[in-house]
């Protein structure tokens, strides 16, 4: 029991476990998504913070009137210079006149000088009035946000460009703190998701575990078990339906294999018995002749006639066995279109001789066109007719052969007024070596293979054969073949 628990735990936490793979891959995807969201959030928020800071700096520049800028540009009085920065203590200020002269007005509390940009950037700022011109500069080794603003003394008269800047360090610190907070919350979400997803995943995989348990219980001797097809998951239900179909086919195959083996066993036993009987009879007559009966003409003639009869039966049995084997090995024969009624009409003289004193009636419709092999169809008719002859009275027997078309099929029926077949024997009449009356069949040279050969030939022609009979009510064999329309 402990070993079983250990094996289950190993399979539960195995890297190849479906549960572990689904869990790890789902969490990996979630972690990658969270990292991606965090990085995108950092980039997006940095741009937002930079733009908001730039707008704030520009507001400070706008709040300073033009005359003040004129005085600042023309004086070195520190008191006057400090006043514009009372509302922006963390900034640095510079002024660039129209001649391109760069003048630092304030370095701010960080003592970081405002960066000096290119002449083209200052010239572009002189052409803009309302646009926020903010630049992220790395001049001097410190990253700063720089905002440029055109300064007018009077309408239409430009004094120059004011430059205000501030370090991005505090903004980045805020962004990093937010990013750390986000990743910490993401880690908590992953841990919570791990604990929650384990139970959810286990419940989700219950139908699959049930299929595994059912599969473990199914073996070659227990194919009656089936997978449940209503577990609430479309994929699992579809898989269960496929497995059940496979089990059905396996069960049918195993049953057919067992039946085939049983039929082969019976066939070998019956064939051995049938072959042994004439050989034993011939051997017995030879022993009689060797003991001196050969010198007596009467006994010699009877023995030779008996051995001749047994050898004929033995030869017919071997011929039938070879024919059955050929039909089993090559179930396809060359079929030709033709009228089956012509075959029966051509066989009428031969059938009349075989019938003897029995009454023979023919009800043959003309134009019964189908595909058949002439020699094999003659053998079907002869086998069924000889079977009727053997089981009807030589004087009062009546055999009727009919050929009609029904439901787009050609139906050949051979009916007799013999003793019929009992309900017990009826399902077995087409089995090889099966004889409901062994002594009577052997009397007429039968081997129990005629009807089996007939069925094999009919199957090769794509038709069907059945028998209708009851005790003391005669017997009717019906062969049906696909009909061909007369216009084809």
In tens, the pLDDT along 337-388 reads 989 999 999 888 888 888 888 999 999 988 889 989 888 888 899 889 988 9
For residue 480, the SS3 value is strand
Among 78-87, 211-220, 336-345, where is mean pLDDT lowest?
78-87
Residue 402: its pLDDT value, please?
93
Q: What is the mean pLDDT of residues 168-192?
A: 86
What are the structural domain ranges in the chain? 2-41+175-204, 65-167, 221-330, 331-482
The CATH-assigned architecture of domain 65-167 is 2-Layer Sandwich (3.30)
Residue 273: its pLDDT value, please?
62
- DSSP designation for 114: P
| Residue 271 banded pLDDT, cuts 50, 70, 90 | low
Among 12-21, 34-43, 437-446, where is mean pLDDT lowest?
437-446
| Residue 117 banded pLDDT, cuts 50, 70, 90 | confident
Query: 169-204 and 206-217 helices cross at what angle (nearest 10)?
Result: 40
In tens, the pLDDT along 125-146 reads 777 655 556 778 777 677 888 8
Taking domain 221-330, whether its CATH number is 2.60.120.560 is answered by no
Give yes or no for residue 157 having a pLDDT over 80: no
Please tell me the distance from the alpha carbon of residue 366 to that of residue 483, in angstroms, as a whole number: 13
Q: How many CB atoms lie within 10 A of CB 387?
A: 23
More confident residue, 62 or 184: 184
CB 91 within 8 A of CB 60: yes
- Choose among 148, 147, 149, 145: nearest CA to 166: 145
Give yes or no for residue 219 having a pLDDT over 70: no
Antiparallel, parallel or unpaired: β 102-106 and 369-372: unpaired
Please tell me the distance from the alpha carbon of residue 108 to that of residue 91, in angstroms, as a whole number: 5
Antiparallel, parallel or unpaired: β 359-364 and 398-406: parallel
Q: If you average pLDDT over each of 23-27, 28-32, 202-206, which comes out highest?
A: 28-32
Beta bridge partners of 363: 402
b/e code 115-131 from CB counts within 10 Å (16+ = b): bbbeeebbeebeeeeee
For residue 76, report the phi and psi dihedrals to the nearest 5 degrees. -120, 15
Q: What is the mean pLDDT of residues 59-83?
A: 64
pTM of the prediction?
Answer: 0.46
CATH tag, 331-482: 3.30.565.10
Across the chain, what does the average pLDDT equal? 78
């Amino acid at each position: 029991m402990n070993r079983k628990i250990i094996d289950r735990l190993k399979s539960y936490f195995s890297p190849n476990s479906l549960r572990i793979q689904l869990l790890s891959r789902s969490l990996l995807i979630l972690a990658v998504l969270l990292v991606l969201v965090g990085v995108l959030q950092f980039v997006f928020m940095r741009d937002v913070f930079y733009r908001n800071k730039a707008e704030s700096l520009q507001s400070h520049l706008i709040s300073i009137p033009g005359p003040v800028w004129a005085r600042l540009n023309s004086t070195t009085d520190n008191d006057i210079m400090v006043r514009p920065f009372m509302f922006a203590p963390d900034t640095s200020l510079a002024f660039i006149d129209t001649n391109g002269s760069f003048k630092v007005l304030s370095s701010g509390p960080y003592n970081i000088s405002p960066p000096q940009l290119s002449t083209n950037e200052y010239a572009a700022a002189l052409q803009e009035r309302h646009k926020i011109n903010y630049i992220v500069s790395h001049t001097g080794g410190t990253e700063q946000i720089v905002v440029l603003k055109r300064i007018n003394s009077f309408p239409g008269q430009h004094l120059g460009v004011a430059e205000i800047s501030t370090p991005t360090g505090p903004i980045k610190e805020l962004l990093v703190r937010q990013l750390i907070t986000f990743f910490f919350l993401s880690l908590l979400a992953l841990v919570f998701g791990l604990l929650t997803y384990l139970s959810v995943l286990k419940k989700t995989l219950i139908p699959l575990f049930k299929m595994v348990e059912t599969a473990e219980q199914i073996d070659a001797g227990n194919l009656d078990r089936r997978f449940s097809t209503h577990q609430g998951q479309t994929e699992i239900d579809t898989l269960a339906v496929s497995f059940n179909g496979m089990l059905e086919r396996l069960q049918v195959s195993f049953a057919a294999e067992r039946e085939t083996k049983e039929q082969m066993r019976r066939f070998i036993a019956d064939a051995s018995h049938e072959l042994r009987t004439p050989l034993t009879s011939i051997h017995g007559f030879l022993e009689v002749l060797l003991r001196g009966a050969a010198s007596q003409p009467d006994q010699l003639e009877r023995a030779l006639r008996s051995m001749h009869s047994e050898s004929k039966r033995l030869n017919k049995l071997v011929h039938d066995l070879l024919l059955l084997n050929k039909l089993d090995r090559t179930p396809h024969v060359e079929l030709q279109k033709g009228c089956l009624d012509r075959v029966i009409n051509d066989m009428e003289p031969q059938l009349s001789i075989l019938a003897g004193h029995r009454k023979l009636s023919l009800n043959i419709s003309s134009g019964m066109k189908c595909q058949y092999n002439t020699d094999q169809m003659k053998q079907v008719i002869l086998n069924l007719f000889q079977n009727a002859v053997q089981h009807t009275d030589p004087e009062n027997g009546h055999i009727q052969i009919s050929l009609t078309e029904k439901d787009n099929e050609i139906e050949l029926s051979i009916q007799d007024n013999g003793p019929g077949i009992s309900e017990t024997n009826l399902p077995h009449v087409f089995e090889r070596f099966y004889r409901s009356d062994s002594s009577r069949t052997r009397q007429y040279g039968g081997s129990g293979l005629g009807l089996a050969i007939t069925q094999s030939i009919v199957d090769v022609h794509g038709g069907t054969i059945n028998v209708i009979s009851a005790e003391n009510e005669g017997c009717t064999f019906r062969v049906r073949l696909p009909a061909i329309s007369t216009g084809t």
